[in-house]
Structure 1
């Protein structure tokens, strides 16, 4: 199977496999959404089956919930779990301070709620997602359908005074119809090129009537696990305010068995 995986797939697998080791018996865990998070869910499913790992999981999307059910993970709502020990999720971009852009998969609202209801957030990713300045990836902003064009106009007006390179906004589509989130909302994707002050932009965007949430994750992530195509993994921990870096190696041959193990 590893021969059929792209280098990016191998990198994502390595980071997800490493992150799964942080999940301990009895934990309440938030499960992210996206391709890297799906590797995590499968690995945790294998641990549940083969090691008897007992966890309670809160998925951030219906897609993740379905996969978690399929691999035998006990899934509950966030209201049932109340608070989480750990959330593990991917990112579309991250910088040196672990500020993130998320929401490329359309689950940014649930992802942010779950992450902020956790004692710790670990980001699993590949090297291509690391940037010097956020903004090359379009910033998702979730808006309610009612009056979304008015919300879009207000956002465009606000962007004129923000420290960004570009100011293009577009409604995310699903074929000929607007893309609809799990909460029944729309997403505006902001092509900004570069974001000079993520904290300020996040606060200002959330003041716009009709905006539910934006995809900037500021002061939420504690650790990033960066996988590489050869199975090398870099762990950066910023939870105590100083960057602590360690390295591990994941045996990629394990990926050949992950589906058989489930």
Structure 2
């Protein structure tokens, strides 16, 4: 099954596409954009289906956004969702590699939540974000960390090495050493993780059961089963997720 289609189907019930509930997303955005000054520019690197941009621009009529993503499927859905939310006329979407994105603008908020893999990790992501940031701007970045030392089974399931991530304290220490000041952070709870994973596997499974004649139906059901099995048996409670609101030192 084509990866972009699988991801789009799996995130239908959880369009934020990260283990964050609605309250957490709203709180993070309110802290990142506390006032509508009339001209904020936002950039989402790895915007997926545009949910962060949609929520950020709703209620901030003076703000404008741009999103970058490789997936044509995700961007098509983003355009539909942004238009339906009434903010589509204030968003420009770009299909392409976020690492290669250039713009004449600088941005008051650069977002990359759950997409740091597109840059090869947290610190290459922050370096890229720095190049897009306006003076006094902020970065909202979501990244994994180890809640506890991973087992070999966890590493195999995630396709990771133990040193791909640090524990939470070390992650924040390294971010501050890189010249950033954390002004807020949110650690996703186990309940948020569970809601995300049940939504991911459930959405894919329901689609497969409702569309048995689709050529991808069997593969989707298999992928949902494998994902659920890996989550419950290996990385649940081991792999954490932190969303940091950062400003330059």
TM over 0.5: no
Higher helix share: 2
Shorter-chain TM range is 0.3 to 0.5
